[in-house]
Amino acid sequence: MTRTLDRPAASPLFRPISTGRRLRNRLATALVTAAFLLAVVPLLWVLYTVLRFGVKVVTSSAWWTHSLSGLLSFQAGGGVYHAIYGTLTQALVCAVFSIPIGLMVGIYLVEYGARSRLEKITTFMVDILTGVPSIVAALFVYALWITILGFPRSGFAVSLALVLLMVPVIVRTTEEMLRIVPNDLREASYALGVPKWKTIVKIVIPTALSGIVTGIMLALARVMGETAPLLVLVGYAPFINYNLFEGNMAALPLVMVSERNNPTPAGVDRMWGAALTLVLLITLFNLLATVVARRSAIKAK
């Protein structure tokens, strides 16, 4: 900058900056833009891969209505409804536990924490829980539920491990959404003689609800793709098992893992078909999240 000032003021009216600075600025712009494009490449590439290998598989109607029961590894055909059932029920059961816990922790942090020591520790522990690898969560459930309490491996054990992964996400969302509820509304409610808990339940939460629901949907989508807990906590079954508490049970990631070593065309098809199905499910939940967010955003206006 000083360099431009030192120049003779004679030449053009607006003193141009030096070529070096100009070039460096151009270079930075190019690099930064390239970095963004670089991130888009793998995303598109992955999606393209999954679509390319998976589309012809998932467009067969048997894919959605049959299991792989009785099929030999090289036999084409069959479907994954057993795995879709497994993935959805495990995620659902996980949600049933995670949502109340996550909500209450979020409420605690925002409405009752009062910057106490417990609040600080809890915030820290939620951060730590966010970073716990899924395999560690799975091992913990294995140690507690299976080794010590003596329960069998089951879809339910998977759900328990997923709870550990989902709770911190819900806590974060709830916390964020509750914090942006204007304090005016709480005060207005108190001033009407409404007790604090009712204010939270009837005023604060409904105001923050769309954001929280969106967060829950996104958390669900993430949990459905988790594979590590499945490997540790439940065996794969190529047939339908409705019982979440006993026996082997399929899930979409498990189909991929088990067909990965099946080099026949049937195996490759199943693997990519399951991958596309999972991506579709996750997309569906992401879309639902967007819809929820949009619908209530209009209502607030």
Partner 1 sequence: MARRLDLEHVNIYYGNFHAVSDVSLMVPPHSVTAFIGPSGCGKSTVLRTINRMHEVIPGARVEGRVLLDGEDVYGPGVDPVDVRRTIGMVFQRPNPFPTMSIRDNVVAGLKLQGVKNKAKLNETAEQALRAANLWDEVRDRLNKPGGGLSGGQQQRLCIARAVAVAPDVLLMDEPCSALDPISTLAIEDLISELKRDFTIVIVTHNMQQAARVSDQTAFFNLRATGEPGQLVEIDQTQKIFANPTQRATEDYITGRFG
Partner 2 sequence: MSDHTGPQTDATADHRPATSATTAGALGGSPARQPPAERAQPPSPGKPVVRRGDRLFRAAAVSSGGLIVGIIAAIGLFLLLQAVPALRVDQVNFLTSRLWNTDSLTNLRFGILDLLLITVTVSLFALIIAMPVSLGIALFLTQYAPARLARPFAYVVDLLAAVPSIVFGLWGIFVLAPALYPVAAWLNTHLGWLFLFSRRAGAPSLQGGGNLFTAGIVLAVMILPIITAVSREVFERTPREQIEGALALGATRWEVIRTTVLPFGRAGYVSGSMLGLGRALGETIAIYIILSGTALSFSGSLFDGGATFASKIAQAAPEFNNPTLAGAYVSAGLVLFVLTFVVNAAARAAIAAGER
Residues in 28-87 that interact with partner 2 by CB under 8 A = 28-29, 31-36, 38-40, 42-43, 45-46, 49-50
Q: What is the DSSP-derived secondary structure letter of residue 147?
A: I
Minimal CA–CA distance to 259: which of 89, 78, 64, 88?
Answer: 78
Q: What is the DSSP-derived secondary structure letter of residue 201?
A: I
Minimum CB separation from partner 2 for residue 70, in Å? 22
32 binds partner 1 (CB under 8 A): no
CA–CA distance from 263 to each of 55, 251, 255, 269 (Å)?
19, 20, 14, 10
Alpha helix stretches (DSSP H) within 59-73: 62-65
Site mask for partner 2 (CB under 8 A), range 165-204, x = bound: --xx--x------xx-x-x--x--------xxxx-xx---
Among residue numbers 195 through 234, which ones bind partner 1 (CB under 8 A)? 195-196, 198-199, 202-203, 206-207, 209
User: Structure tokens of 122?
Assistant: 């809890």
Minimum CB separation from partner 2 for residue 200, in Å? 7
**Comparison of 20 and 61: residue with beta carbon closer to partner 2:** 20
Minimum CB separation from partner 1 for residue 197, in Å? 10
**Comparison of 65 and 294: residue with beta carbon closer to partner 2:** 294
Instruction: Compute the residue count for the chain.
Output: 301
Q: Which does 40 bind (CB under 5 to 8 A by kind): partner 1, partner 2, none?
A: partner 2
| CB proximity list for 252: less than 8 A, separation 6 or greater | 80, 83, 84, 86, 87, 224, 274, 277, 278, 281
117 binds partner 1 (CB under 8 A): no
Minimum CB separation from partner 2 for residue 100, in Å? 8
